[in-house]
Amino acid sequence: MIRETLGMVFIFIGIAFDFLGVLGLVRLPDVYNRLQAATKCVTFGSAGILFGVFLINGFTSFGFKALLGIMFIFLSSPVAAHAIARAAHRGGIPLTRESVIDEYAKDKELK
């Protein structure tokens, strides 16, 4: 009983994080800002939902697959986000006008 309640609480928090991250994806002005908001929706949004599913199902095959999904998402999603940001900067997509500093361009000049 308490396990299912705790799992539903985790699922609610995960859904709220998903919605807020997608709202940031629509609202923010730049590629890099959008990427920063959208990656937040990965690390607690869908991982929270999968952890809630694991808490509800317990140590069955379904629950272990949910844990495996959490591990895979935590390993793969930052790599993809980093690759997209690096490719966008090298592909010449400009920053927004309100940004104050760009350290990566300085690093590319030094090389």
Partner 1 sequence: MKLFKWITGLMFIAAFVYFNFFVYKGEILFKLINVNLFSALFVLFRVIVGPSAADRIVAVDILGVLIVGMLALIGLHYKQGFFMDIALIWALLSFVASLAFSKILEGRQLDD
Binding site for partner 1 (CB under 8 A): 8, 11-12, 14-15, 18-19, 21-23, 25-26, 31, 34-35, 38, 41-42, 45-46, 49-50, 53, 56-57, 60-62, 65-66, 68-69, 72-73, 76-77, 79-81, 83-84, 86-88, 90-91, 93
> Residue 67 CB: number of other CB atoms within 10 A?
14
d(CA 47, CA 54): 10
Q: Which is nearer to partner 1, 3 or 86 (CB)?
A: 86
Shortest distance, position 69 Cβ to partner 1, whole Å: 6
CA distance 64 to 106: 46
CB of 40 to partner 1, least distance (A): 10
Q: How far is CA 95 from CA 6, 68, 74, in A?
A: 42, 37, 27
Residue 87 Cβ vs partner 1, minimum distance, rounded to whole Å: 4
CA distance 85 to 52: 30
